[in-house]
Amino acid sequence: MEPLITTAITRLQALAPGPAHGGPDLASGSPRGRRAADLGLAVSPPFSLRCMGPTTGMTSMTRLLKLIAKYGDSGLALVLALGVGVLALFDIVGTNDVNGAILLTLGLVATASLRNRAREEETDAQIQDVLGGTRDMLTTMPARLDELQGTVESTRRALAESSYVRVLHGSEVGEALEEARRRTDRWVFKGGTGTYVRAVTLPECIELARRKKHVLHVELEIIDPGNEKLCAAYAQFRRSLSAQPDATGEIWTVDRTRKESYATVLAACWYRQRYSFVTIDVGLSSVLTTFRWDMTPHQLIITQEDPQFPAMMLEPGKYYYEIYSRELMASLRQARPVPIDRKNTELSEEPTVDEARRLFADLDLPLPQAFTDRNVTEIIKKALQARNLYQ
């Protein structure tokens, strides 16, 4: 039945009347319409065409034929059963006719049932295909997720390797320095007077080395306290950053700069004499640097005197780490070495003024004649009770 109805739909669409399809126009276009107009008669299209129009009428007809094709056998069986039942109720048809109608109705019902079962089987097959594809996709998904995770990790490592310099801000600087102190047996410093080294780096690194029972090697390069012109330039530089007193309550002057450098040398000698597992080399530079360089085997951190400025951190194996480490070593070799391994002067637990004076004389680094005992006491205090200026 469905092929016949489909053929009928196609023929109706091909033979649709109207001007758009080449058919006669009863209103005015055809001879018959003109003759009717001449006689004063109004000729109009059929009611169905007036109400729906050609396109709407064809659409409704197509929909109706599709419904018949889909439910025609079931509807015919229902109509046949009802019709024969009514006729049999009024004794219009005989028993043989009723039996024949029953068989025909059963045949139509069986046909509809078989068609529905075929459609159900086709739908079940499609559902099974979809479920099978979903199962296969879910089975391979963990492997794909692992592959994606590996790709992301490889990309992250590639980006980390491609970044030569990491910029540190605010508290990140202190955290990076703390991490560097926790896992090193070698520290190289180049900077101004070494105030932070005395206050934090040396005490903490030595304490960690004692706890872990390993050796510690420290190399320091600071400005030469005997170079008054250099110390004046450094003091001017620090005052240009801030004219206000720092955490110690002092402003930067030539005398303070010299005292800070002398204090770093004294602290290095004191720690070296106290701890045999510590080796310390000190070099005095005749060149001013505005950066502080802290290098370990695991990282190089470059900071500035003003903690508000960002810092840079470089890791081993990267290009800039290698060239900057060579620069630090070359600079330290050019600095004037301080022979702190000389033991002509032993420092007590709390060095005295006389001990400090004799020590600097033995190191070929005599204190200025203008420095009084009070100034020497300040140097001793700065050496062993230094304050962290960056807290």
Q: Can you give the pLDDT at residue 32? A: 45
Q: Can you give the pLDDT at residue 339? A: 92
Q: How many CA atoms lie within 13 A of 355 on its CB side?
A: 16
Q: Can you give the pLDDT at residue 235? A: 95
For 242-251, how does the pLDDT look when each residue is reduced to its tens digit (9 = 90+)? 888 887 889 9
Regarding the domain delimited by 168-384, which CATH topology (the fold level of the hierarchy) does it fall under? Endonuclease; Chain A (3.30.870)
Whether residue 80 is predicted with pLDDT greater than 80 in this model: the reply is no
How many Cβ atoms are within 10 Å of 13's Cβ, its own excluded?
12
Tell me the three state secondary structure of residue 229. Answer: helix
Helix boundaries (H) for the chain? 2-14, 31-38, 47-89, 95-162, 171-182, 195-196, 202-212, 228-241, 254-274, 319-334, 353-362, 373-384
How many Cβ atoms are within 10 Å of 86's Cβ, its own excluded?
11
Tell me the three state secondary structure of residue 48. Answer: helix
Report the alpha-carbon distance of residue 142 to residue 144 in Å, rounded.
Answer: 5
* Torsion of Cα atoms, 323 then 327 then 328 then 330, to 10°: 130
Residues 6 or more apart whose CB falls under 8 angstroms from that of 273 comprise 343, 346, 347
- Tell how strand 311-314 and strand 336-338 pair up: unpaired
Q: Can you give the pLDDT at residue 43? A: 44
* From 18-27, 294-303, 366-375, the region with the lowest mean pLDDT: 18-27
Whether residue 274 is predicted with pLDDT greater than 70 in this model: the reply is yes
What does each C-alpha distance from 17 to 58, 154, 286 come to in angstroms? Answer: 10, 71, 109
Nearest C-alpha neighbor of 26 from the set 54, 1, 57, 7: 54
CB contact at 8 A, 222 and 290: no
Residues 6 or more apart whose CB falls under 8 angstroms from that of 368 comprise 258
Whether residue 28 is predicted with pLDDT greater than 80 in this model: the reply is no
Q: Can you give the pLDDT at residue 248? A: 81
Report the alpha-carbon distance of residue 276 to residue 299 in Å, rounded.
Answer: 26
CB contact at 8 A, 187 and 201: yes
* From 12-16, 202-206, 337-341, the region with the lowest mean pLDDT: 12-16
Report the alpha-carbon distance of residue 300 to residue 163 in Å, rounded.
Answer: 14
For 230-242, how does the pLDDT look when each residue is reduced to its tens digit (9 = 90+)? 999 999 999 998 8
For 158-185, how does the pLDDT look when each residue is reduced to its tens digit (9 = 90+)? 666 556 788 898 889 999 999 999 989 9
* Higher pLDDT, residue 4 or 237: 237
Q: State the pLDDT confidence band at 6, using cuts at 50, 70 and 90.
A: low
Q: Can you give the pLDDT at residue 115? A: 73
Q: Percent of the chain scored above 70 by pLDDT?
A: 76
The mean per-residue pLDDT over the stretch 273-291 comes to: 93
Q: Can you give the pLDDT at residue 333? A: 92
223: part of which helix (H) or strand (E)? strand 216-223
Q: Can you give the pLDDT at residue 14? A: 52
CA 70 to chain centre: 57
Amino acid letter at 292? R
What residue spans define the domains of the chain? 2-126, 168-384
How many Cβ atoms are within 10 Å of 123's Cβ, its own excluded?
10
pTM value is 0.60
Whether residue 311 is predicted with pLDDT greater than 80 in this model: the reply is yes
Residues 6 or more apart whose CB falls under 8 angstroms from that of 196 comprise 292, 388, 389, 390
Tokens for 7? 């053929």
For 81-134, how does the pLDDT look when each residue is reduced to its tens digit (9 = 90+)? 777 677 766 667 667 766 776 767 777 677 777 777 777 778 888 888 888 878
* Higher pLDDT, residue 74 or 325: 325
Q: Can you give the pLDDT at residue 296? A: 95
Tell me the three state secondary structure of residue 331. Answer: helix
CB contact at 8 A, 340 and 265: yes
